[in-house]
């Protein structure tokens, strides 16, 4: 095969935010919004990469990979750099990136790009990687080349997503199970604030550091806890006076978010969607007040939905500081709600929002061309 297309989906996360890098259990799923990444081996002496979204094209010398000043280029350069350092033989190629996945909206377009590139480049160069190896490489790119100290939730989901199922993923062990996610009559509506976030520039890494700091404090007397999610809430409370106030708030959020995920799983299994939705709202208020990764536009959208009985759950999603709100909404009210919220949002913030109904879909796929 010297030509192929990778379909690399985005992901949602129902609940379990900012706990993947704390050893937590999360509840994400791949969605039907995807990047389509086209690859063709070429016979020239350079590689060309084009993004339809960015209306930009650049050439890469595979013998001399250097970081770029242009942020999106670095995701590609990072993948190439790490694959080449692993002695994977990559022939020059042309690549065109397209698709309907919103960029910088909290649905993990960056991991979709990184995973899609790894999958496409290894396949087209006849190199077999196990899923676990692919996740490790993707994470290495984001950690070492891009500089975001993220967890594994996004990469794992993009690779292992399954239609109509959430993944209950234990990020300590990568053990996971699929949970049926047919919410009829409810649908998943993403509302994009159109506030662009950039995890690298934002305070994402600072949150990771604050969690590590909390864990170190809690382990001062005896080294008992491997991950922050393992700490009982009472133990954290007893230690409150010894911990910096902000660090305490971060840790409290992490511990409570894990408790919410456990309850959310049970409520899904027992079919109690109302309670499931309540936990989703609570997750938002924790992200806003304790973890402080929300923003006024996200809060506005969540607050607007609180009194609508046809929206059973709403919260900011992903790293935060912008991006999307996830709503679980009765399908019969979607059009009216979008009309109403679009007007009010525009009047309040003077810019448009964008909304998408998403379906839970399968993970990454290779398509032959022709
Ligand atoms: C980003 C990171 C994930 C995760 C989420 C927050 O999407 O890439 O690893 O930490 O933020 O839950």
Exposure pattern of 336-347 as b/e (b: 16+ CB <10 Å)? Answer: ebbeebeeebee
Q: Does residue 311 have a pLDDT over 90? A: yes
Q: Does residue 200 have a pLDDT over 60? A: no
Q: How far is CA 32 from CA 222, 245, 323, in A?
A: 47, 41, 18
Bin 55: left if φ > 0, else alpha if -120 < ψ < 50, else beta: left
At 223 the pLDDT is: 76
Chain center to CA of 85: 26
Mean pLDDT along residues 219-243: 93
Q: Does residue 201 have a pLDDT over 70? A: no
Pocket perturbation via mutation, ligand 1, pick of 20, 202, 293 by most ligand atoms within 8 A of CB = 20
Catalytic residues, which ones? 154
Report whether 169 contacts 25 (CB < 8 A): yes
One domain, residues 286 and 210: yes
Q: How far is CA 131 from CA 38, 159, 293, in A?
A: 21, 7, 31
What residue owns the CA closest to ligand 1's atom 8?
150
For residue 319 and ligand 1, the question of a CB distance below 6 A is answered with: yes
192 Cα: distance to centroid of ligand 1 (angstroms):
17
What residue owns the CA closest to ligand 1's atom 2?
150
One domain, residues 111 and 149: yes
One domain, residues 154 and 197: no
At 84 the pLDDT is: 97
At 198 the pLDDT is: 60
One domain, residues 206 and 334: yes
One domain, residues 173 and 279: no
Which atom of ligand 1 is closest in space to residue 151's alpha carbon? Answer: 9
Distance CA 151, CA 134 (A): 14
For residue 257 and ligand 1, the question of a CB distance below 6 A is answered with: no
At 369 the pLDDT is: 84
For residue 16 and ligand 1, the question of a CB distance below 6 A is answered with: no
For strand 165-170 and strand 311-316, is the pairing parallel, antiparallel, or unpaired? unpaired
Residue 29's nearest CA partner among 135, 245, 178, 219 is 178
One domain, residues 52 and 167: yes
Sequence-separated contacts (24+) of 66-72 with Cβ below 8 Å: 67/145, 71/198, 71/200, 72/113
3-state secondary structure of 83: helix
Which atom of ligand 1 is closest in space to residue 204's alpha carbon? Answer: 11
One domain, residues 176 and 260: no
One domain, residues 218 and 314: yes
What's the total number of domains in the chain?
2
226 Cα: distance to centroid of ligand 1 (angstroms):
20
Pocket perturbation via mutation, ligand 1, pick of 153, 200, 320 by most ligand atoms within 8 A of CB = 153
One domain, residues 216 and 125: no
Range of the domain at 68: 3-180+362-368
For the domain that residue 196 is a member of, what is the CATH number? 3.30.70.890
The length of the chain is 370
15 Cα: distance to centroid of ligand 1 (angstroms):
12
Q: Express each pLDDT in 124-169 by its tens digit.
A: 999 999 999 999 999 999 989 998 899 999 999 999 999 999 999 9
One domain, residues 232 and 191: yes
One domain, residues 241 and 338: yes
Q: Express each pLDDT in 91-126 by its tens digit.
A: 999 999 999 999 888 899 999 999 999 999 999 999
One domain, residues 128 and 215: no
């Amino acid at each position: 095969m010297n030509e192929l297309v990778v379909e690399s989906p985005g992901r949602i996360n129902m609940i379990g935010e900012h706990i993947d890098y704390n050893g937590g259990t999360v509840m994400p799923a791949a969605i039907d919004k995807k990047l389509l990444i086209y690859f063709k081996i070429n016979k020239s002496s350079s590689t060309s990469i084009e993004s339809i979204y960015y209306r930009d094209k650049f050439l890469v010398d595979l013998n001399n990979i250097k970081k770029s000043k242009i942020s999106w280029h670095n995701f590609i350069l990072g993948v190439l750099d790490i694959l080449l350092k692993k002695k994977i033989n990559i022939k020059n190629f042309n690549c065109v990136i397209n698709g309907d996945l919103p960029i910088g909206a909290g649905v993990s377009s960056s991991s979709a790009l990184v995973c899609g590139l790894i999958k496409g480049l290894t396949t087209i160069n006849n190199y077999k990687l196990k899923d676990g190896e692919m996740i490790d490489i993707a994470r290495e790119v984001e950690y070492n080349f891009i500089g975001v100290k993220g967890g594994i939730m996004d990469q794992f989901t993009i690779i292992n997503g399954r239609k109509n199922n959430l993944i209950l993923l234990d990020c300590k062990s990568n053990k996971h199970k699929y949970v049926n996610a047919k919410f009829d009559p409810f649908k998943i509506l993403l509302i994009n604030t159109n506030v662009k976030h950039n995890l690298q520039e934002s305070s994402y890494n600072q949150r990771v550091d604050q969690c590590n700091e909390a864990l170190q404090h809690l382990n001062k007397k005896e080294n008992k806890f491997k991950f922050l999610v393992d700490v009982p809430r009472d133990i954290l409370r007893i230690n409150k006076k010894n911990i910096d106030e902000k660090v305490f708030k971060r840790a409290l959020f992490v511990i409570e978010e894990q408790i919410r995920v456990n309850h959310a799983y049970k409520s899904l299994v027992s079919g109690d969607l109302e309670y499931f939705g309540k936990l989703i709202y609570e997750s938002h208020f924790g992200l806003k007040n304790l973890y402080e990764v929300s923003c006024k536009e996200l809060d506005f959208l969540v607050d607007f939905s609180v009194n609508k009985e046809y929206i059973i759950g709403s919260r900011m999603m992903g790293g935060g500081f912008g991006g999307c709100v996830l709503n679980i909404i009765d399908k019969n009210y979607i059009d009216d709600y979008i009309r109403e919220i679009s007007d009010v949002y525009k009047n309040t913030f003077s810019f448009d929002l964008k909304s998408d109904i998403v379906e839970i879909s399968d993970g990454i796929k290779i398509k032959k061309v022709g």
